[in-house]
Amino acid sequence: MLTIRRLTVVALLAALLGVHAVAEEGMWTFDHPPTAAIQQKYGFAVTPDWLEHLRLSSVRFNDGGSGSFVSADGLVLTNHHVALGQLQKLSTEQRDYVSGGFAAASRADEIKATDLELNVLMSYEDVTARIAEASTRAANSQAALEARRAAIAQIEKESLDKTGLRSDVVSLYQGAQYWLYRYKKYTDVRLVFAPEQQMAFFGGDPDNFTFPRYDLDFALFRVYENDAPIRAPHFLKWNAKGAVENELVFVTGHPGSTDRNDTVAELETLRDVIYPANIQVVKRRIALLKQFAARGPEQARQAADITFSLENAMKVYTGEYNGLLDPKIMARKTADERTLRAAVDKNPQLRGSYASAWEDISRAETANRRLYKSQRFGQIRGSGFAGLGLSIVHYVLELKKPDGQRLNGYHDAQLQSTLRGLLSPAPVYAALEEALLADALQESLEELGPEHAFVKAALAGRSSKDAAAALIGGSKLADPAVRKQLVDGGETAINQSTDPLIVLGRALEPLMRQITDTVEKEVTSVESAARQKIGQARFAVYGTSVYPDATFTLRLSYGAVKGYPMNGTLAPYKTTFAGLYDRSASFDGKEPFNLVPRFIEGRAKLDLATPLDFVTTNDIIGGNSGSPVVNKAGELVGLIFDGNIESLVGRFVYDEATNNRAVAVHSGAIVHTLRTIYGAGALADELESGRTAAAR
């Protein structure tokens, strides 16, 4: 554990060196919590037991998101928008759980999610030395990358065999550290409750990533094993009173990725090449989906989930891109980099080990810019279903190789989770997939030209539309059993298949491998080594009281419940149900500010002064969706579901002056609506007591 003295020295150094370390910054790993800083600022002692309870109560949604156990009977709380994919997969034209919501009347009515995997981080250990050793004898950076991969696969497999736990080696601090994370894995996860999407996502795309906010963005699942709810040894006690203004709160969760330690060369590629392309693609796809949805209500239902994701992405990308375009932010990144490089250059030993890294990355980024179009547009995109053919081919071919040489995702320790995706029984909407594929193929044609190998293979002389119709229309892969036969049948089955998506997959596999190899040789392996050096240089100069970029692994952040200056006035620290009715009425109830009937009719049942959402200074990012907000007593006081518009630049830099805030649903809002609006008092009782009535 860090001492206060140590931190003070580091903070001083950081100040001298121009690193803008601020109070609430950081997505901290559990091996390395900012105990001293929390003690110093808030006078609260984070203990190992307190941390362990929090960690074992935290849940990762493997398809991207966070959650927490909230009852001894295996109830898991997350966001509605984290549950959305599963809600859509469980829905049909006749019963739409997305728009209508879902409430299990009894235990027997809880329905199994189609392909959901939840993970709980049971243990973690530093394997940096072992990985480092494996690559010391490598001749070049590509060989070193391969050696590290082999060592990783080996460690994961050993661990899986030994513990039976999902075992992932993760690279932290840009590869300056490697850790083995072991997860307990749950795959029988049943839907218990979800409000109507309109109430979870009230205000829609306009209000997304903003505050004040009035969203009930929550859903409840229950974890089963052997067809019975688990006895959760750790869960968060519900505190319906929530947190008061300025109260210290913690967030645990799985932030997906940040680029705070990227070099300026990397940021420039993002700014000049990748973000413009991303924004263009997303804009195009949203336009297509709106056309598709206009065909009828069932088409609208089918397109809703992906449209929602893309609109969300569009708002994120735009905010992040604006951050990159902000000269102040780029100037700060440039100054920070200059400071670190100067410190490295001043010390002969550091200079010898690390000084070349920035130039290495700069060179690799030149290659990255050159290869980007081929890499991005030279693959099957748009339709997840169309991509299944190539994925099955990949799966079969990767499995032929020794574990250590396989691509990430195909290591033995990962196969079970990968297969769950490949064989998911989720429904396939052929017309939607066809429209998406046609649009993406057309885009590839426009971006790469008709002579590009990918375009030739995919279109085979047809128009994008015709090609998509033939590929989707002719494929039998919508049936999971067909996919299973191919996977089980191995290379022979693949080679004999006449399914157009498999045929295309076979044709594309060598092309993909080639571009992957080129990128790996010219970009990935070079940058992997250089990033590691920069990570180590950062340790050498600033000490180890720093946190790594986000990697979809469990992190702890701390902060305070706090409003902020906004648009000439103040944003409050919370909103109330009265505000929900105000905002709806202020737009005359027009979409996306409409209320569902039970909220219109049930208004009198609600105490309108009940808090609905609130904001905190916790440092979070995408992947933290569904994270619990926890008070000093370890009680759940809220549920993270968003950041404000000011937080989007947080991908690149944390700056308190931008008034970035995490946005959460208030714990009290959830039980209040369950009791008053949804008639789900038993569920509210379970949340507030921590167990079901039967178990009490």
Nearer to a second copy, 4 or 585 (CB): 585
**Is the separation of the CB atoms in 128 and 177 below 8 Å?**
yes
Nearer to a second copy, 404 or 579 (CB): 579
Nearer to a second copy, 143 or 244 (CB): 244
Least gap, CB of 324 to a second copy (angstroms): 17
Q: Would you state the structure tokens that stand for residue 651, as one six-digit string?
A: 């991908």
Please tell me whether the peptide bond between 592 and the residue prior to it is cis, using omega within 30 degrees of 0.
yes
Contact set for a second copy, span 305-324 (CB under 8 A): 315, 319
Give the number of residues in contact with a second copy, rule: CB under 8 A: 38
206 near a second copy (CB under 8 A): yes
Nearer to a second copy, 65 or 643 (CB): 643
Nearer to a second copy, 498 or 567 (CB): 567
Least gap, CB of 666 to a second copy (angstroms): 11
Least gap, CB of 211 to a second copy (angstroms): 9
Binder among 644, 660, 676, 692 for a second copy (CB under 8 A): 644
Least gap, CB of 664 to a second copy (angstroms): 14
Binder among 137, 139, 567, 633 for a second copy (CB under 8 A): 567
Using alpha carbons, select from 88, 14, 23 the residue that is nearest to residue 424: 88
203 near a second copy (CB under 8 A): yes
Binder among 30, 97, 179, 209 for a second copy (CB under 8 A): 209
- Residues of 316-333 as b/e, b for ≥16 C-beta within 10 angstroms? bbbbbbebbeeeebbebb
Contact set for a second copy, span 585-604 (CB under 8 A): 585-588, 593
What SS3 class is residue 137? coil
Q: Which residues are CB-contacts of 266 (< 8 A; sequence separation ≥ 6)? A: 259, 361, 365, 527
What SS3 class is residue 157? helix
- How far is the C-alpha of 406 from the C-alpha of 501, rounded, in Å? 23
The owner of tokens 């036969």 is 485
DSSP 8-class letter at 238? B
- How far is the C-alpha of 306 from the C-alpha of 395, rounded, in Å? 25
Least gap, CB of 632 to a second copy (angstroms): 20
Binder among 111, 132, 482, 578 for a second copy (CB under 8 A): 578
What SS3 class is residue 250? strand
Contact set for a second copy, span 235-254 (CB under 8 A): 245
Per-residue mark of binding to a second copy, 602-641 (x: CB under 8 A)? ------xx-x------------------------------
498: left (phi over 0), alpha (psi -120 to 50) or beta: alpha
Q: Would you state the structure tokens that stand for residue 446, as one six-digit string?
A: 């426009």
Least gap, CB of 592 to a second copy (angstroms): 10
- How far is the C-alpha of 280 from the C-alpha of 229, rounded, in Å? 45
Nearer to a second copy, 144 or 621 (CB): 621
Binder among 100, 490, 572, 602 for a second copy (CB under 8 A): 572
- How far is the C-alpha of 398 from the C-alpha of 532, rounded, in Å? 27
Please tell me whether the peptide bond between 212 and the residue prior to it is cis, using omega within 30 degrees of 0.
yes
**543, exposed or middle or buried, with CB in 10 Å at 0-12, 13-18, 19+?**
middle
Using alpha carbons, select from 503, 504, 487, 485 the residue that is nearest to residue 495: 503
Nearer to a second copy, 23 or 313 (CB): 313
Nearer to a second copy, 129 or 604 (CB): 604
Contact set for a second copy, span 318-377 (CB under 8 A): 319
Binder among 579, 638, 650, 690 for a second copy (CB under 8 A): 579
Stretch that binds a second copy, among 154-162, 347-355, 404-412, 568-576 (CB under 8 A): 568-576
Binder among 252, 269, 576, 658 for a second copy (CB under 8 A): 576
- Kindly report the number of other CB atoms within 10 A of residue 430's CB atom: 14
Handedness of CA 11, 633, 235, 643 (dihedral sign): negative
**Is the separation of the CB atoms in 649 and 661 below 8 Å?**
no
Nearer to a second copy, 447 or 582 (CB): 582
Per-residue mark of binding to a second copy, 383-422 (x: CB under 8 A)? ----------------------------------------
Binder among 358, 581, 599, 652 for a second copy (CB under 8 A): 581
Least gap, CB of 656 to a second copy (angstroms): 18
Least gap, CB of 85 to a second copy (angstroms): 25
At 498, which amino acid appears? Answer: T
Binder among 135, 374, 575, 627 for a second copy (CB under 8 A): 575
569 near a second copy (CB under 8 A): yes
Stretch that binds a second copy, among 183-191, 340-348, 559-567, 667-675 (CB under 8 A): 559-567
Q: Which residues are CB-contacts of 367 (< 8 A; sequence separation ≥ 6)? A: 522, 523
Nearer to a second copy, 212 or 690 (CB): 212
583 near a second copy (CB under 8 A): yes
Using alpha carbons, select from 494, 498, 515 the residue that is nearest to residue 392: 494
Least gap, CB of 597 to a second copy (angstroms): 16
Q: Where are the alpha helices (DSSP H) in 121-182?
A: 128-136, 141-163
Q: How far is CA 135 from CA 105, 209, 216, in A?
A: 56, 43, 49
Q: Where are the alpha helices (DSSP H) in 401-499?
A: 415-422, 430-448, 453-459, 464-473, 480-496
Stretch that binds a second copy, among 37-45, 199-207, 248-256, 506-514 (CB under 8 A): 199-207
Rg for the chain, CA atoms, rounded: 25
Nearer to a second copy, 184 or 603 (CB): 603
645 near a second copy (CB under 8 A): yes
**Is the separation of the CB atoms in 558 and 248 below 8 Å?**
yes
**Is the separation of the CB atoms in 74 and 222 below 8 Å?**
yes
Nearer to a second copy, 210 or 418 (CB): 210
Nearer to a second copy, 8 or 586 (CB): 586
Stretch that binds a second copy, among 10-18, 227-235, 465-473, 561-569 (CB under 8 A): 561-569
Least gap, CB of 642 to a second copy (angstroms): 11
Pairs from 455-462 (Cβ < 8 Å, separation ≥ 24) = 455/378, 457/504, 457/507, 457/508, 457/511, 458/380, 458/504, 458/508
Least gap, CB of 111 to a second copy (angstroms): 34
Nearer to a second copy, 19 or 608 (CB): 608
Binder among 568, 597, 633, 694 for a second copy (CB under 8 A): 568
Q: Where are the alpha helices (DSSP H) in 245-383?
A: 264-269, 275-293, 297-325, 327-346, 348-354, 357-377
The owner of tokens 């064989």 is 423
Would you tell me which residues interact with a second copy (CB under 8 A)?
Answer: 203, 206-210, 212, 245, 315, 319, 563, 566-570, 572-583, 585-588, 593, 608-609, 611, 644-645
